[in-house]
Structure 1
């Protein structure tokens, strides 16, 4: 029987035909050509892909049809244990039918199967991508949670917090068809299901989106820009100008913020601070007005505080900085702190074994997210045990680039790769985790959200696109040290130790990290002595702003 075309309204008919064409295989991990068939239809033809309905903001008013083909894009917030289900059944006439990819309708209600096979799949609990900007040119971000059923061991390449783009079969009713216990020597019985999201997608195509995942057109755009030193410098200056406006005219602050935006964890050791990232602490002067913002942050990036039952009110400066970062970074989330917010919910995701589900956390973020933490709303109050645990989770995330998952009897660190920026008035509560400290010196009034939005709108479309492309491309550039530079740096370390016996290897690693970011910001893939001197001068300027002891 020839394979039919991929009908959007009847994908399970295609699945069933391919299953029969493959000789009705009985093995759990047999795909019978389904993923390949749908990839050929929808991944090689962008126009066909665009016709697939997306589970998005209008799904409530116009829900997809049961059993139809849909697209979904979201972040993996939880991976449940594998489910066991009747993957194929045999009838009296000797024919087999499969329920793989959501085809439970093949199990005839008026006929008892004569044989069956138990197969395995794994449910992912997916949520809207936190902090994703509206300008990101991808499939629309989901607005609701979704259970994605993953088949054929795709889950081996999908870590927690991954953003996934899925094409699959849409269902709504909870799947209770033949979920059985693994131990088949005992009486088979249905296992208790974890609560299911209203929307469910049985993944036929599952495409994990990493931070560096770009289309061929985007890759070409990055290569063209980074291949021209003049365009790199032009985009760098435009980015600095916008950041300087957001920081009240502080040019050194704009430089520090730019370098921090290029930071990411490239090396890590369990339980140890990451020496490859440069979290930035922006310390505001005491006279800075920190009134509550009249409105929530820009809709271009979602506030992490929104996931809490008692979110803090953003400060005007925090909201304005969030707005500019959300205009430049595809993923940016804002976490204003208060005593009530810290005490209201645990920020370390916690496994509820009664429901077999993880609790949501505002710190569950996909790689590449800029996390703006605002300590300035913190007032007087007492942190509860939950609040202290929340701070521990936040501090671990910033210092070790790991999110602690609470499994009641132990805490398991899950690697993350986020860019933390912390606003504080005076000494930060997480000062030990923030190696780069900027005492802000604005030369003019700090801008409002509206003023920042006007500054972004004043850029023409190409200028703004060049800044975004520059930041993304510079962050992903290859970087290395020549043998001669390594020797010179060793001499620099020895000289620094002679001049200051308190200068530690950790201090030197921090300098090397800033040097890498500075080189990348200029489009350079290796470190020169001139750039090293630039970094030492930059650090001296930061130190000169520190209060006299």
Structure 2
């Protein structure tokens, strides 16, 4: 028999429908009702967010008392057409003609009473719009992310009270991931890490959304799904497909709409003064002692899209490592070891095998059935701009186009390093912070870089504007890996040296 969740301390979590009813009844104007509800719950839940049971950590929904507020960590996977609903109406007593105001804001049905008629054409009636979103639990999430959530946010039972943490502590968690958008060759690992928030962005983002009812379908590596309905016009513009949110609803059928975007707070910058040598050694060992490959892999792990220029993503660094031989037990073991290590370091890792059998037997892309308005899942998400670093592992040169293609140079491997929980926590924090650094390029540096680009273009064939963009991206990532907030000539030369070594290998 499931252990019931203990009764929350505040009424906003315990019986949110009553609180909403009071706010709506006391409000004189229908234009401000949703805003008043949002402001009230934003204020009330700010210090009690962790008292709300987390649906992802509950084995059975029966553990939660009906009507209680619950949270759901999810990814927005698809959007539906807007819905129209009656936000306010009147109940008319058949015998006395007495009229009562009723509201269906944050509800899926119209409430009625025995002996009363529903009047939706009265002067106070209001027809409003809301946007349904199809949300699923975070796909391909690494196990340690969920374990940290459960450790930090154990649901309160009737015999055990979990400890509370402040909202600021919550925001340090690395839990943001996105959907897949790139195809890979033979075997690939796709990852997405959370982008950190500035100090001014920390805290809960509260808006109008409604977690209304579960809607299951054929999902890939996903346990739960739901329809989330967004009421606030501003929120409709800010909520995006393939982004991660926490939504709040009634259990088991929702009415309240509170959500916040999941993002990670950053440690102080002085904590990132040097690259951890352990991480470089770990990556070098995973690439058969190839230090050049380890440098590229590190830059790949901290790369992110920070700008899109005319639809072209700027800042990404997709990486293809070739030289893996399926017939070699050692290399096969190394490939699995690399994948397992990435799962320990990153919030999300998806292993997608692109063999002929896999491509012919399973759907790779998600497709929407417009007759049923249902989304049929594939390995990849729907085609929306998404920041997902793609790592391609193959025997020969990959057919997939990547920013960097490098053939591994097998050297002597060292003894595998033992990854303790403490070391993993430090490396995860390092990768998160390095990925989130805003690295600048001074005017003086840009002038020097342009001069060297012009010189290289005169001396070498095949140097294009795209090559120059890659050099700048690599220089920026190398600077971020050292915790530097500005690209220097030293990082520029280091980037050119890496590229020179890579070109020499490709010509052999």
Shorter-chain TM-score: which interval? 0.7 to 0.9
Structure 1 residues 270, 424: CA separation in 2 closer, same or farther (over 3 Å shift)? farther
**C-alpha deviations, 1:439-491, integer Å up to 9, x for none?**
112335799xxx7xxx4xx3444432222111111111122222221221121
Following the alignment from structure 2 to structure 1, what is the Cα–Cα distance between the partners of residues 114 and 390? 55
**C-alpha deviations, 1:244-283, integer Å up to 9, x for none?**
22223322221110011111122334565x4532111011
SS of residue in 2 equivalent to 1:69 = strand
In structure 2, the partner of 1:383 is none
Structure 1 residues 107, 150: CA separation in 2 closer, same or farther (over 3 Å shift)? farther
Structure 1 residues 530, 204: CA separation in 2 closer, same or farther (over 3 Å shift)? same
2:457 is equivalent to residue 497 of structure 1: yes
Matched length: 419
SS of residue in 1 equivalent to 2:454 = helix
Following the alignment from structure 1 to structure 2, what is the Cα–Cα distance between the partners of residues 487 and 470? 31
Following the alignment from structure 1 to structure 2, what is the Cα–Cα distance between the partners of residues 122 and 285? 47
In structure 2, the partner of 1:309 is none
Q: Structure 1 residue aligned with 2:410, among 442, 456, 466?
A: 442
2:264 is equivalent to residue 214 of structure 1: yes
In structure 2, the partner of 1:353 is 370
SS of residue in 2 equivalent to 1:263 = coil
Structure 1 residue 285 displacement after superposition: 4.4
Structure 1 residues 63, 207: CA separation in 2 closer, same or farther (over 3 Å shift)? same
Q: Structure 1 residue aligned with 2:306, among 259, 266, 275?
A: 266
In structure 2, the partner of 1:31 is 34
2:239 is equivalent to residue 158 of structure 1: yes
Following the alignment from structure 1 to structure 2, what is the Cα–Cα distance between the partners of residues 345 and 270? 33
In structure 2, the partner of 1:69 is 69
Structure 1 residues 317, 81: CA separation in 2 closer, same or farther (over 3 Å shift)? farther
1:250/1:442 contact within 8 Å kept? yes
2:269 is equivalent to residue 223 of structure 1: yes
In structure 2, the partner of 1:415 is 385
Following the alignment from structure 2 to structure 1, what is the Cα–Cα distance between the partners of residues 109 and 129? 14
In structure 2, the partner of 1:90 is 90
Following the alignment from structure 1 to structure 2, what is the Cα–Cα distance between the partners of residues 422 and 96? 60
SS of residue in 2 equivalent to 1:257 = helix
TM (norm. structure 1) is 0.70
2:479/2:487 contact within 8 Å kept? yes
Q: Structure 1 residue aligned with 2:139, among 130, 134, 145?
A: 130
Structure 1 residues 243, 61: CA separation in 2 closer, same or farther (over 3 Å shift)? same
SS of residue in 2 equivalent to 1:56 = helix
In structure 1, the partner of 2:209 is none
**C-alpha deviations, 1:159-201, integer Å up to 9, x for none?**
10110111222344xxxxxxxxxxxxxxxxxxxxxxxxxxxx4
2:245/2:260 contact within 8 Å kept? yes
**C-alpha deviations, 1:290-313, integer Å up to 9, x for none?**
699xxxxxxxxxxxxxxxxxxxxx
Moved more, 255-264 or 524-533: 524-533
SS of residue in 2 equivalent to 1:506 = helix
In structure 2, the partner of 1:148 is 228
Structure 1 residues 546, 147: CA separation in 2 closer, same or farther (over 3 Å shift)? same
2:261 is equivalent to residue 205 of structure 1: no
Structure 1 residue 103 displacement after superposition: 6.9
Structure 1 residue 328 displacement after superposition: 1.4
Structure 1 residues 362, 202: CA separation in 2 closer, same or farther (over 3 Å shift)? farther
> Structure 1 unaligned runs (5+)?
173-200, 293-314, 365-402, 405-413
In structure 2, the partner of 1:395 is none
Structure 1 residues 463, 317: CA separation in 2 closer, same or farther (over 3 Å shift)? closer
Following the alignment from structure 1 to structure 2, what is the Cα–Cα distance between the partners of residues 536 and 108? 76
1:222/1:473 contact within 8 Å kept? no
TM (norm. structure 2) is 0.75
Structure 1 residue 530 displacement after superposition: 1.9
In structure 2, the partner of 1:312 is none
Question: Residues 35-114 of structure 1: matches in 2 within 5 Å?
Answer: 35-43=38-46, 45=47, 48-60=48-60, 62=62, 64-92=64-92, 93-102=98-107, 104=109, 106-108=111-113, 110-114=115-119
1:74/1:126 contact within 8 Å kept? yes
In structure 2, the partner of 1:284 is 323
Structure 1 residues 321, 108: CA separation in 2 closer, same or farther (over 3 Å shift)? farther
Following the alignment from structure 1 to structure 2, what is the Cα–Cα distance between the partners of residues 42 and 331? 29
Structure 1 residues 152, 428: CA separation in 2 closer, same or farther (over 3 Å shift)? same
SS of residue in 1 equivalent to 2:117 = coil
In structure 2, the partner of 1:12 is 17
Deviating runs (4+, > 6 A) in structure 1? 139-142
Q: Structure 2 residue aligned with 1:241, among 264, 274, 281?
A: 281
Give the structure, 1 or 2, with the largest relative contact order (CA under 8 Å, sep 6 or more). Answer: 2
1:42/1:49 contact within 8 Å kept? yes
2:440 is equivalent to residue 480 of structure 1: yes
Structure 1 residue 423 displacement after superposition: 0.5
Structure 1 residue 353 displacement after superposition: 0.9
Structure 1 residue 13 displacement after superposition: 0.8
